[in-house]
Amino acid sequence: MAWTVATLQKSLKERKIKSIDLMRTVFAAIESRQPQVNAFISLNKAQAIEEAEKADRDLDKGNAKLLTGIPIGIKDVICTEGMTTTCGSKILHNFVPPYDATVITRLKAAGAIIVGKLNMDEFAMGSSNENSAYGPCRNPWDLTRVPGGSSGGSAAAVADRQVPLALGSDTGGSIRQPAAFCGITGLKPTYGRISRYGLVAFASSLDQIGPMALTVEDLAIVLQVMAGKDPLDATSSPEPVADYRAACREEVKGLTIGMPREYFGEGLSPEIDKAVRDAAALFEKKGAKVVEVSLPHTKFGIPAYYLAATAEASANLARYDGVKYGLRVGRVDDRGVALRSMYERTRHDGFGSEVKRRIMLGTFALSSGYYEAYYAKATKVRAIIRKDFEDAFKKCNLILTPVTPTVAFSLGSKMEDPLEMYLSDVYTITLNLAELPGLSLPAGFSSNGLPIGMQLIAPHFREDLLLRGGFSYQQWTDWHLRAPSGSSALEARYESTKGK
């Protein structure tokens, strides 16, 4: 059986395994695979080992919390006190936050142990993890291919069995797309379901933190810890938090699942089309009803997103100027001489090409005379897309779609064509625009052995429905438990690290 969060919880509590041995196993796996996969930017080894020893003492005394002794990797866009947080960028290569993000505070309070910070596209801007200043992460199923982005390191580390659990962030598909490419399970919650306090902003009205793991049950366990109102984040919601693990146990019989006709057309790989339709047939066999629905304004999702997101990025990234923190290139004397030069050189040297591209696009969209024509119009399109989903949910409980139009593509194959890269997120972007929750889960493999993902979408704050549908599907299939042939095999490594 795979070492999931749920199985590790049980084994640790029953003292069949020790947290310290588990932690040594994790670091042995990471260090063995880092040269090939490059999933981590930094490690927290000394502190993690110390915390694992404490976890064992707590477990021995019967004082375990929900996640006591469970290792977790954190996307390097989430602030961690005393640990470097780079956002995959040169401009923050030396930034050490003086505080923890709310999600980190809650995970630590539940006993989780942070093993390190995970690779990502710079400032979460990308679909392949090739925009990282720390080198591209690679897909453990095929090291010549991308893991997806921007949470590529998070997806690759879980798929490669380096860690059982990771956090990502999702602005336009950055949890769901890499989860699909790497054959794991990832959840983008409703906007406001999880606090964004301590998440370094890309596009503030779209960003959302979420968990990534092997199973839907693991996501439910971690979501329970992180969800809920946070006084430090005015955009977090007071909406009551459901019992997510209990929701997993409910059957799908009686649910209606919609399949939007706009998501099954030109550009979709036939193998992915078949895998998603096969999943729909399985839901129907198990008692759910499957109907066709329409999301007619889907085609406007990408242009609306790349106006709204880049405009917000332009404003959010204006703070990186070499003055208060991060990289500084050049000097300024007491009279402020050379200040402009310092700004320009810092941002020129500190940001990569994709970040610069999006800042320029966003600055143009917000510039005088263009705001109404671009950003304001994109905001109106968001409202129309949200209405499309509201209308669709009058006919169904869940919506089933592909996650990506293709399986993971080769490293370097789309770097020269930004528009083609942006189209990788055609099925995920609309959820962020409409602020809806989405679940990506494995649904099969292509003829060349690469993972295929499918996406479940639910109404606002109905993560319980997502988990219910996803958990049921994973009881009928084993796609989510299959591992890459060269993976770290945590379970096998454990015996060799015990007691060392």
Residue 488 is predicted with a pLDDT of 58
pLDDT above 70 for 188: yes
For the chain, the C-alpha Rg in angstroms (whole number) is: 22
Residue 73 is predicted with a pLDDT of 98
Residue-wise DSSP of 234-283: TTS--PPPP-HHHHHTS--TT-EEEEEGGGSSTT--HHHHHHHHHHHHHH
Residue 498: pLDDT band with limits 50, 70, 90: low
| 75, 108, 117, 188: the active-site residue | 75
3-state secondary structure of 491: helix
d(CA 196, CA 365): 25
> Which residues lie below 8 Å from residue 364, measured CB to CB, with a gap of 6+?
370, 374
d(CA 380, CA 436): 17
- The string of pLDDT tens digits covering residues 131-169 is 999 999 999 999 999 999 999 999 999 999 999 999 999
In the chain, the amino acid numbered 411 is L
Residue 105 contacts residue 78 (beta carbons within 8 Å): no
pLDDT above 80 for 82: yes
3-state secondary structure of 166: strand
Q: How far apart are the first and last CA of the chain?
A: 24
| 19, 89, 127, 150: the active-site residue | 150
Residue 353: pLDDT band with limits 50, 70, 90: very high
- The string of pLDDT tens digits covering residues 418-443 is 888 988 899 999 999 999 999 999 99
Residue 332 is predicted with a pLDDT of 74
Give the CATH number of domain 5-250+415-497. 3.90.1300.10
Closest CA to 440 of 133, 193, 210, 254: 210
> Which residues lie below 8 Å from residue 488, measured CB to CB, with a gap of 6+?
29, 30, 32, 33, 160, 161, 162
Residue 324 is predicted with a pLDDT of 84
- The string of pLDDT tens digits covering residues 310-348 is 999 999 999 999 888 889 998 777 666 688 888 899 999
Has 75 been annotated as catalytic? Answer: yes
Residue 389 contacts residue 436 (beta carbons within 8 Å): yes
Measured from the Cβ of residue 439, the count of other Cβ atoms closer than 10 Å reads 31
Mean pLDDT of the chain: 95
Residue-wise DSSP of 329-375: -S---TT-TTHHHHHHHHHHHHS-HHHHHHHHHHHHHHSTTTTTTTH
Phi and psi angles of residue 316, each rounded to the nearest 5 degrees, phi first: -65, -35
Mean pLDDT of 24-44: 96
Mean pLDDT of 38-66: 97
| 89, 127, 128, 174: the active-site residue | 174
Residue 337 is predicted with a pLDDT of 66
**What percent of the chain has pLDDT above 70?**
96
Q: CA angle, 159 as apex, 281 and 270 as ends, to 5°?
A: 35
Closest CA to 181 of 470, 474, 411: 411
The structural domains of the chain, with segments of one domain joined by +, span 5-250+415-497
Residue 372 is predicted with a pLDDT of 87
d(CA 71, CA 226): 16
Residue 497 is predicted with a pLDDT of 60
Has 150 been annotated as catalytic? Answer: yes
Residue 143 is predicted with a pLDDT of 97
Residue 493 is predicted with a pLDDT of 64
Residue 199 contacts residue 101 (beta carbons within 8 Å): yes
pLDDT above 80 for 201: yes
> Which residues lie below 8 Å from residue 315, measured CB to CB, with a gap of 6+?
362, 366
pLDDT above 80 for 209: yes
Residue-wise DSSP of 366-431: HSTTTTTTTHHHHHHHHHHHHHHHHHHTTT-SEEEEES-SSSPPBTTSSTT-HHHHHGGGTTTHHH
